[in-house]
């Protein structure tokens, strides 16, 4: 029987019946099981960062999900005010989880907020599109319902020779866009795999880690059937978690 990898999925703090709780949207857990062939395990963030290494030692990969919360600017050395909602526990524990996974040589995959967390954990910075005139190019109108929000799309240009091109096999790609925070300064050791409108970084890959670190700014977990590049994200996560992953492209090792 083929090994089914244990994939840790980070949780967010939410209010449930008037008190704080930990939650993960079903679509992430279902994508891990159905499309990556893994066993999803929820990782609560209301715990000591020192626990991260012990948790990672029991996992085959880590997935950092998207979230409605924003990363606090203080996490990347900015004096800017935080945009509500925030999730201090996820900021703190997510950072520890990423560092522990990289140090242990375990794969790390990120979606939307997860991409931003990876960049910050490895030394990069973010900016908020709401402070520019670009917000409407990357997010549906605030009054849009869930279906309309995830139907809001734009093209991304895939970097030639990148991991994303190897996975998707085509360019450009049409992706959904549900975010306000974006990468400002790219962390050392990360390579750009795709860019969107006005040069916003839409996919990244680490070129210096023992196991792959790969993340996208869009949401491949949102009804991915029929979109080859989104299915490729989950296939790659499953392969990486089973230690049957692709090494960095030669072009990226020089980035």
Q: Could you tell me which of 70, 63, 61 has the C-alpha nearest to residue 114?
A: 63
Give the pLDDT confidence score for residue 48 in this predicted structure. 98
Q: Is residue 163 part of a domain?
A: yes
Q: Is residue 92 part of a domain?
A: yes
pLDDT tens column, 16-42: 999 999 999 999 999 999 999 999 999
Q: Is residue 1 part of a domain?
A: no
Give the pLDDT confidence score for residue 59 in this predicted structure. 97
Predicted TM-score (pTM) above 0.75? yes
Q: Which residues, in sequence order, are CB contacts of 163 under 8 Å at separation 6+?
A: 193, 205, 212, 214, 246, 248, 249, 252
Distances from the Cα of 40 to the Cαs of 43, 54, 60, 143, in angstroms?
A: 10, 17, 10, 32
**What phi and psi values does residue 91 have, to the nearest 5 degrees?**
-55, -50
Instruction: Kindly name the residue from 12, 13, 95, 112 that is annotated as catalytic.
Output: 112
Instruction: Kindly name the residue from 95, 138, 179, 219 that is annotated as catalytic.
Output: 219
Instruction: Kindly name the residue from 221, 229, 239, 252 that is annotated as catalytic.
Output: 221
Angle at Cα 112 formed by Cα 231 and Cα 213, nearest 5°?
A: 70
pLDDT confidence bin for 154, thresholds 50/70/90: very high
Note down the domain range covering 222. Answer: 6-253
Q: What is the mean pLDDT of the chain?
A: 91
- The answer to whether 31 and 221 have CB atoms below 8 angstroms apart is yes
- Cis check for the bond before 111: say yes or no (omega within 30 of 0): no
In whole angstroms, give the CA distance from residue 40 to residue 28: 9
Distance from first CA to last CA of the chain, Å, rounded?
Answer: 39
Q: What CATH number corresponds to the domain at position 99?
A: 3.40.50.880
- The C-alpha R_g of the chain, in whole angstroms, comes to 17
Distances from the Cα of 77 to the Cαs of 16, 81, 89, 182, in angstroms?
A: 32, 12, 17, 15
Q: Is residue 151 part of a domain?
A: yes
Q: Is 219 a catalytic residue?
A: yes
Calculate the CA 167 to chain-centre distance: 16
Distances from the Cα of 7 to the Cαs of 15, 81, 106, in angstroms?
A: 25, 34, 10
pLDDT at 253 over 80: no
If one counts the domains in the chain, the total is: 1
Q: Would you state the structure tokens that stand for residue 179, as one six-digit string?
A: 């975010």
Please give the average per-residue pLDDT across 128-133, as a whole number: 75
Please tell me whether residue 151 adopts helix, strand or coil conformation.
helix
Q: Is 208 a catalytic residue?
A: no
pLDDT confidence bin for 166, thresholds 50/70/90: very high
pLDDT confidence bin for 138, thresholds 50/70/90: low
Alpha helices in the chain (DSSP H): 26-34, 52-57, 88-104, 113-121, 135-138, 146-151, 163-168, 228-241, 250-253
Q: Is 221 a catalytic residue?
A: yes
Q: Is residue 12 part of a domain?
A: yes
- Cis check for the bond before 172: say yes or no (omega within 30 of 0): yes
pLDDT tens column, 59-112: 999 999 999 999 999 999 999 989 899 999 999 999 999 999 999 999 999 999
Give the pLDDT confidence score for residue 110 in this predicted structure. 98
């Amino acid at each position: 029987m083929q090994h089914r990898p244990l994939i840790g999925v980070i949780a967010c703090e939410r209010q449930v019946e008037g008190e704080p709780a930990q939650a993960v949207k079903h679509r992430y857990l279902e994508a891990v099981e159905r499309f990556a062939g893994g066993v999803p395990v929820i990782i609560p963030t209301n715990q000591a960062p020192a626990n991260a290494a012990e948790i990672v030692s029991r996992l085959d990969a880590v997935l950092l999900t998207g979230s409605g919360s924003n990363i606090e600017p203080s996490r990347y050395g900015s004096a800017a005010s935080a945009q509500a909602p925030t999730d201090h526990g996820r900021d703190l524990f997510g950072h520890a989880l990423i560092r522990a996974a990289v140090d242990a040589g375990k794969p790390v995959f990120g979606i939307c907020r997860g991409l931003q967390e990876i960049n910050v954990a490895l030394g990069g910075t973010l900016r908020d599109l709401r402070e520019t005139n670009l917000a409407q190019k990357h997010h549906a109108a605030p009054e849009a319902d869930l279906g309309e929000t995830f139907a809001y799309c734009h093209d991304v240009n895939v970097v030639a020779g990148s991991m994303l091109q190897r996975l998707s096999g085509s360019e450009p790609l049409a992706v959904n866009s549900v975010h306000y925070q974006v990468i400002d300064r790219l962390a050392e050791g990360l390579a750009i795999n795709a860019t969107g409108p006005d040069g916003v970084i839409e996919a990244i890959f680490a070129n210096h880690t023992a196991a792959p670190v790969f993340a996208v700014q869009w949401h491949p977990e949102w009804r991915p059937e029929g979109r080859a590049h989104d299915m490729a994200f989950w296939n790659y996560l499953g392969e990486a978690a089973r230690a049957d992953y692709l090494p960095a492209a030669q072009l990226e090792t020089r980035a």
